[in-house]
Structure 1
Amino acid sequence: MKLSFELPEGSAPSTLSFEARHLVIAGWTGRDTAAIEHHIEELAELGVPAPSAVPLFYRVATQQLSQADVVQVVGADTSGEVEPLLFLHGGEFFVSIGSDHTDRALEAHSVALSKQICVKPVARSAWRLADVQERWDTLVLRSWIEEGGEWRLYQEGTLAALRPPADLLARCAAADGEPADGFAMTCGTVGAIGGIRPAARFRMELVDEHTGRRIAHEYRAVSLPIVA
């Protein structure tokens, strides 16, 4: 799957074309054990079984990545989650954001399948990881959902809540081999304000308050009917 990213003003090159060959969704990546337990309990209320390991690395087909503004899903029980997205291009890591859009009804039966079945929307801009590595923990992750015709803050927190990139990459390499060009990995998320719930419209952003830069994306999920 080919994706195109704009880099910050003054970068050379100003854009890059990335061909994803290996996609990993990292789950249960929080540094705070209590927060992880809370998220597990949050999902348990939806009937989702506890993970077999923490963190856990799910393989997902790269064709599920999309930079479209409108995606299609099956049924009305899906929702997004904003996550940092790391990808390796030309021997260098870059960071963007993606939504781990998930089928919540299917999640009660299989987390892996619930992640595989949904498109993963991705922003169209990125930063070099090296440029934000030292202040990684200060980067702010946010998302909004549309409810009742209004945008409501759905997630907010700094990346200090998540395991740092080096830790996740090392753990993923131990489980799945060393990453090569074409590797992409989402890095986990922060808790949903008011609980996880379906929403058709989703906004997300990653903000570097030190520079004032932000990576943002918005998309709409169109529900297809479930035909038995």
Structure 2
Amino acid sequence: MRLSFTRHSMAGSDRISLTPDALVIAGWAARDEAAVRHHIEELAAIGVPPPSSVPVYYRAAAANLTQAEVLEVLGPDSSGEVEPVLLSLADGLWVGLGSDHTDRKAEAIGIALSKQMCGKPVGRDLWRLEEVEPHWDSLILRATATIDGEAVLYQEGSLAALRHPRDLLARRPGGPGLPPGTLMFCGTLGAIGGIRPSSHFAMELHDPVLGRSLRHAYRVAELPVIA
């Protein structure tokens, strides 16, 4: 899947397009061990087994990345998860926004399997990592989900709740760092009111220091499950 981005930096903005070479999804990436246990228990409630390590780095097909306005999924058992993402380019690391949309029914069978089952929406705007890294913990991540026709706050919190991206990169097998062309999802926050599906998912990464936000949204279209 070819993706297009607008890159925003102190030096100005430009547009790029590329086909990513690899997709990595960092799981169980909360900085607070109590928050990790909370997310493990949250998923255990819907039948998902605990991880083999913390954090853990799943691989999924880069072709799953999408910027489409509509995400087609099989059946009613999937949901979004807002995450900061890192994209490695020839001139360094860039920060974006994505949703680790996951089939929860498949997740109960195997997390790695579930990561491959759904498209992974990503936004169209990027910030240079070095420009937000000094105040990384101040960045605010949030998501709004439309559930039963009502838009509700689904996730919200500062990135202080998640492992710092440099920590994730240092721990990554084959690291440190990310090869150019690699995109990595960097962890999520607990769902307010529990994990559940939605018909529309809107997400934001807000920088209160520089007064700017990354935003992205998509609709979810359920495909029928045919036996």
Name the TM-score, length of structure 2 as normaliser: 0.96
Secondary structure of the structure 2 residue equivalent to 1:14: strand
For residue 187 of structure 1, what is the aligned residue in structure 2?
Answer: 186
Tell me, yes or no, if the aligned pair for 1:23 and 1:62 is still in contact at 8 Å.
yes
Residues in 1 aligned to 2:144 and 2:70: alpha-carbon distance in whole angstroms: 16
1:106-121 equivalences under 5 Å are 106-121=106-121
Give the C-alpha shift of residue 150 in structure 1. Answer: 1.8
For residue 104 of structure 1, what is the aligned residue in structure 2?
Answer: 104
Residues in 2 aligned to 1:187 and 1:22: alpha-carbon distance in whole angstroms: 14
Cα deviation per residue 1:9-47 (whole Å; 9 max; x = unaligned)? Answer: 764452122331010000000111111101101100100
Q: Determine what percentage of the aligned residue pairs are the same residue.
A: 52
1:21-60 equivalences under 5 Å are 21-60=21-60
For residue 156 of structure 2, what is the aligned residue in structure 1?
Answer: 156
Letter paired with 1:37: R
For residue 136 of structure 1, what is the aligned residue in structure 2?
Answer: 136
Secondary structure of the structure 2 residue equivalent to 1:217: strand
Tell me, yes or no, if the aligned pair for 1:155 and 1:191 is still in contact at 8 Å.
yes
2:213 aligned with 1:214, yes or no?
Answer: yes
Residues in 1 aligned to 2:176 and 2:207: alpha-carbon distance in whole angstroms: 31
Q: Which runs of 5+ in 1 are unaligned?
A: none
Tell me, yes or no, if the aligned pair for 2:142 and 2:205 is still in contact at 8 Å.
yes
Name the TM-score, length of structure 1 as normaliser: 0.95
Distance change (3 Å), C-alpha of 1:98 and 1:148: same
Cα deviation per residue 1:162-188 (whole Å; 9 max; x = unaligned)? Answer: 11011101111x356752110110000
For residue 81 of structure 1, what is the aligned residue in structure 2?
Answer: 81
Residues in 2 aligned to 1:178 and 1:205: alpha-carbon distance in whole angstroms: 25
Letter paired with 2:121: P
Secondary structure of the structure 2 residue equivalent to 1:23: strand
Residues in 1 aligned to 2:218 and 2:131: alpha-carbon distance in whole angstroms: 27
Deviates more, 1:61-70 or 1:3-12: 3-12
Question: How many residues are matched?
Answer: 227
Tell me, yes or no, if the aligned pair for 2:169 and 2:175 is still in contact at 8 Å.
no
Give the C-alpha shift of residue 148 in structure 1. Answer: 2.7
Distance change (3 Å), C-alpha of 1:138 and 1:48: same
Letter paired with 2:133: Q
Residues in 1 aligned to 2:145 and 2:13: alpha-carbon distance in whole angstroms: 34
Deviates more, 1:160-169 or 1:6-15: 6-15
Secondary structure of the structure 1 residue equivalent to 2:105: helix
Give the C-alpha shift of residue 7 in structure 1. Answer: 2.3
Secondary structure of the structure 2 residue equivalent to 1:76: coil
Give the C-alpha shift of residue 2 in structure 1. Answer: 2.1
Residues in 2 aligned to 1:126 and 1:73: alpha-carbon distance in whole angstroms: 26
Residues in 2 aligned to 1:4 and 1:123: alpha-carbon distance in whole angstroms: 9
Tell me, yes or no, if the aligned pair for 2:6 and 2:13 is still in contact at 8 Å.
no
